[in-house]
Each structure stands twice: as C-alpha cells, then as structure tokens.
Amino acid sequence: QVQLVESGGGLVQPGGSLRLSCAVSGSIFSMTVMGWYRQAPGKQRELVASIISGGRVNYADSVKGRFTISTDNAKNTVSLQMNSLKPEDTAVYYCNGIHYLTTLEYWGQGIQVTVSS
C-alpha cells in the first residue's frame, strides 16, 4: 500500500522560504508522475508543480521562478522548495503521485502553509 506523508509546512513571513517534503512508502521510482497541489479555503485545488520520472518539471504560472520541485530517489522523497513566498501562497499543500504499474492515484494528508506577517 502506497502512502504519501508531507512535512515541512508552517508559518512564514512574506518573502520567506519553506521546503516541503513528501515521503513515499516503497520506491519513488514506481511513480510515473509526482506533484504538489494546493487548496485555499473557498478555492479549487490547483496544481503547483509536477515532475515526471525522466526529470522533466512543470510549474503553475503563479509560482514560476519562485518554487522548485525535485526528487531524491535514494531517500524516496519529493520536495518543493518555496522562495519569495507571498500571502496568496497560503493554502493546504498536498503531495500527489500516480503509480507506474497500477495507474492508481495517491494523495498525502495535506500540510498547512501560511504566509503572513
């Protein structure tokens, strides 16, 4: 059974940085795509960043130049480095992955990121 567990969220001031990590049970190499989503109250869940097994990355326009997604296969983690944070980045962030063999989609429990002075 695949489980995704996020960590690293919290409160940060505007302009600050946070690094989110997602631990994948089993091998992260089994996932075709890993991504980070976020959802603010009253808003749709949106894709923030994604990375495919070959290393190609994609970012939402709102975070380009500020966020970086990366994987560490040895540690079975996917991370999201968030710099120059803005209040509008405040949301619950979710780790997401699609399994290569089963094609099933998995979600983490979500982790709160609050950008406020």
Convert the pLDDT of each residue in 10-56 to its tens digit.
999 999 999 999 999 977 778 899 999 999 999 999 999 999 988 89
Residue with tokens 């500020």: 66
Strand partners, 87: none
Which three-class secondary structure state does DSSP give residue 108?
coil
CA distance 37 to 114: 15
Q: How much is the average pLDDT of 71-79?
A: 92
pLDDT at 55: 87
In whole angstroms, what is the distance from residue 78 CA to residue 45 CA? 19
Q: How would residue 115 be classed by pLDDT, with cut points 50, 70 and 90? A: very high
**pLDDT-derived band at 80, boundaries 50, 70, 90:** very high
Q: Is the pLDDT of residue 59 over 90?
A: yes
Residue 7 to residue 95: CA distance in whole angstroms: 10
* pLDDT at residue number 22: 97
